[in-house]
């Protein structure tokens, strides 16, 4: 088998990924942040960044509500506590490096 790429092919992406989410799906990203052990501040920063990139400021609130829904319902984490600590340290160090720290 050989892979060939047709450079002349023009593809139009008519709908961005996730454009047709239903009402309950808008909280899923925040719940995912909680499930991965991100913590409040990392979730807030990541949510702000995503809402800015998607040019939808209200997504920030949806993501934060989703985070609190997961936390208050005591949804089980997808990672162990040790892994969650590592993830938080790693995310914070990556964020700091982007600011030159």
Can you give the residue ranges of every domain in the chain? 26-98
pLDDT given at position 63: 95
Q: Is the pLDDT of residue 16 over 80?
A: no
Q: Which two tokens stand for residue 44?
A: 């807030």
pLDDT given at position 35: 96
pLDDT given at position 87: 96
Minimal CA–CA distance to 48: which of 57, 36, 39, 37?
57
- What average pLDDT does the structure give for the chain? 90
Confidence of residue 19 (pLDDT cuts 50, 70, 90): low
Q: Is the pLDDT of residue 21 over 90?
A: no
Which tens digits make up the pLDDT trace of 26-85? Answer: 899 999 999 999 999 999 999 999 999 999 999 999 999 999 999 999 999 999 999 999
Decide: helix, strand or coil at residue 45.
helix
H-type alpha helices, 1-101: 28-35, 40-53, 58-72, 81-98
Q: Is the pLDDT of residue 90 over 80?
A: yes
Distance (Å, whole) CA 77 – CA 75: 6
């Amino acid at each position: 088998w050989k892979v060939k790429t047709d450079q002349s092919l023009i593809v139009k992406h008519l709908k961005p990924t996730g454009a047709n989410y239903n009402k309950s799906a808008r909280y899923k990203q925040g719940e995912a942040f909680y499930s991965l052990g991100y913590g409040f501040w990392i979730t807030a920063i990541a949510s702000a960044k995503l809402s800015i990139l998607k040019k939808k400021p209200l997504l920030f609130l949806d993501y934060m509500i989703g985070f609190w829904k997961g936390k208050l319902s005591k949804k089980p984490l997808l990672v162990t506590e040790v892994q969650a600590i590592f993830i938080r340290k790693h995310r914070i160090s990556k964020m700091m490096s982007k600011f030159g720290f």
